[in-house]
C-alpha cells in the first residue's frame, strides 16, 4: 500500500484498525505479515544426525526404557529452529528406533504414513507386521506402513536392531485429521509371511539394477514405486568412488539416509555455505529450496525421502532453473 499523506485520512485509518480487530477482521493492506513472497522460504536448516551417536544414546536408553513403557523406543531428530523440538522438516519427522533381541513393539495404527529404513539388523531376525503380514527387516530394506495400516515390530534374535523411522506427522498436524488407535492385543496376529511384498523394498536389489544400466562410477538415481504412500516420495541414489550429483534445488523437503559408503553434501545460498560430512547410517536434511549437491568418497547408496508427492498432488512442485 502506498503511503497516505493526508493526515486526516491517516488518523481515521488508525482509529478504524482496532475497531476491525474487535470484530475479528484485519485490513489486508495493513497486515503485519505478508501473504505472498517471491520464492520459498523456511526457518528449517540443513542438519545432520550421526548414526554412531544415535546408536550409543539408544543403547543407553535401552537400559532404562522398554517398548512396553514407551510404545516406541526412539530418538526423534529435531531441527533446532524457534518453537520446534520434534520435527526434522515442516512436513516430516525422523527418528532412530531400536528393539533388542526378544522384544516386541506393540500393535497400533494412525493417520500418518510411515516407513522404516533398516540400518542395523541380522537378516532373518527382525520383522514388521503390517495388517497381519509379517515382512522381513533386513539391512537396507525399506518397510512401508501406509495411513491407517495396523503395524508392529518384533526381534526374534539376540542382537539389537536399529532403523530409521520417517512419518508425515507434521503434515497431519497442520491439516489436523489425526487419528490413533492401539490394537486390542499387544501383539498382532500373523496371517501371512512374505519376503516379496509391495510394502517391502530391498534397496540392495534396486542398486544392482541401477548398476547394470549406468556407466562406470557415474551418479545415478531411481525413483521408487510406492503407490501406497500418497504424501512421500522415495529416490535411491547410487555412485561409485568420486561420483557427484548435479546441483539440486526444488520445493520439496528432503531427508537423506546413508545406506552404504561415505561422502559429503554442500549447501550454498547467497549469504552462506556449509558442508556436511556423512557415513553409513547417518541422516541429514535438505529443507525446501535449499541449493545442494552430493559427492562420494567411495561406492555409496543414498536414500532420499521427500514430500515431493504432496507437492505434485497439489500442483505446487517446482525446481529452480539451472545456473
**Segment 133-179, tens digit of pLDDT:** 999 999 999 999 999 999 999 999 999 999 999 999 999 999 999 99
Residues ≥6 apart with Cβ < 8 Å to 313: 230, 231
Q: For residue 191, how many other CB atoms are within 10 A of its CB?
A: 10
Q: Where in the chain are the domains?
A: 47-180+188-202, 204-314
Mean pLDDT of 112-130: 98
Of the CATH numbers 1.20.140.10, 2.40.10.330, 2.60.120.10, 2.60.40.60, which one belongs to the domain with range 204-314?
Answer: 2.60.120.10
SS3 136: strand
SS3 26: coil
Measured CA to CA, the distance from residue 178 to residue 148 in angstroms comes to 10
Residue 123 has pLDDT above 80, yes or no: yes
Q: Does domain 47-180+188-202 have CATH number 2.60.120.10?
A: yes
Q: What would the pLDDT profile of 5-52 be if each residue is shown by its tens digit? A: 787 898 999 999 999 999 999 999 888 888 899 999 999 999 999 999
If 0-12 CB within 10 Å is exposed, 13-18 middle and 19+ buried, where does residue 284 land? buried
Question: 192-193 and 133-136: which strand pairing?
Answer: parallel
pLDDT for the residue 323: 65
Q: How far is CA 126 from CA 32, 48, 255, in A?
A: 53, 27, 24
* Spatial contact of 111 and 179, defined as CB atoms under 8 Å apart: yes
Q: What would the pLDDT profile of 195-230 be if each residue is shown by its tens digit? A: 999 999 999 999 999 988 887 789 999 999 999 999
CA–chain centroid gap for 322, Å, is 26
pLDDT for the residue 258: 98
Domains 47-180+188-202 and 204-314 share a fold: yes
Residue 1 has pLDDT above 70, yes or no: no
Q: Tell me 30's DSSP state.
A: G
Task: Catalogue the long-range contacts made by 263-268 (C-beta closer than 8 Å, 24 or more residues apart).
Answer: 263/239, 263/294, 263/295, 263/296, 263/297, 263/298, 263/300, 263/302, 264/294, 264/295, 264/297, 265/46, 265/292, 265/293, 265/294, 265/295, 266/292, 266/293, 266/295, 267/46, 267/291, 267/292, 268/292
pTM: 0.94
Amino acid at each position: 500500500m502506498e503511503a497516505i499523506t493526508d493526515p486526516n485520512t491517516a488518523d481515521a485509518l488508525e482509529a478504524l484498525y482496532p475497531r476491525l480487530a474487535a470484530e475479528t477482521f484485519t485490513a489486508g493492506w495493513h497486515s503485519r505479515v505478508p501473504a505472498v513472497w517471491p520464492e520459498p522460504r523456511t526457518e528449517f536448516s540443513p542438519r545432520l544426525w550421526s548414526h554412531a551417536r544415535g546408536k550409543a544414546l539408544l543403547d543407553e536408553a535401552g537400559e532404562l526404557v522398554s517398548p512396553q513403557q514407551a510404545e516406541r523406543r526412539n530418538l526423534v531428530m529435531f531441527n533446532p529452529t524457534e518453537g520446534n523440538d520434534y520435527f526434522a522438516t515442516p512436513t516430516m519427522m525422523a527418528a532412530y528406533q531400536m528393539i533388542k533381541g526378544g522384544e516386541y513393539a506393540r500393535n497400533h495404527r494412525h493417520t500418518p504414513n510411515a516407513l522404516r529404513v533398516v540400518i542395523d539388523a541380522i537378516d532373518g531376525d527382525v520383522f514388521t507386521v503390517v495388517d497381519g503380514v509379517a515382512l522381513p527387516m533386513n539391512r537396507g530394506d525399506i518397510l512401508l506402513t501406509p495411513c491407517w495400516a495396523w503395524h508392529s515390530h518384533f526381534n526374534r534374535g539376540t542382537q539389537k536392531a536399529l532403523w530409521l523411522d520417517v512419518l508425515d506427522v507434521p503434515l497431519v498436524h497442520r491439516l489436523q485429521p489425526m487419528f490413533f488407535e492401539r490394537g486390542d492385543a499387544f501383539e498382532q496376529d500373523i496371517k501371512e509371511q512374505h519376503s516379496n511384498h509391495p510394502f517391502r523394498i530391498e534397496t540392495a536389489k534396486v542398486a544392482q539394477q541401477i548398476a547394470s544400466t549406468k556407466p562406470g562410477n557415474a551418479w545415478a538415481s531411481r525413483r521408487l514405486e510406492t503407490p501406497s504412500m500418497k504424501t512421500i516420495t522415495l529416490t535411491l541414489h547410487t555412485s561409485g568412488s568420486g561420483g557427484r550429483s548435479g546441483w539440486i534445488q526444488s520445493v520439496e523437503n528432503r531427508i537423506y539416509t546413508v545406506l552404504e559408503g561415505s561422502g559429503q553434501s554442500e549447501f550454498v545460498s547467497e549469504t552462506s555455505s556449509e558442508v556436511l560430512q556423512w557415513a553409513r547410517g547417518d541422516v541429514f536434511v535438505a529443507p525446501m529450496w535449499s541449493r545442494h549437491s552430493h559427492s562420494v568418497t567411495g561406492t555409496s547408496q543414498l536414500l532420499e525421502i521427500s514430500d515431493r508427492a504432496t507437492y505434485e498432488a497439489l500442483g505446487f512442485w517446482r525446481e529452480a532453473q539451472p545456473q
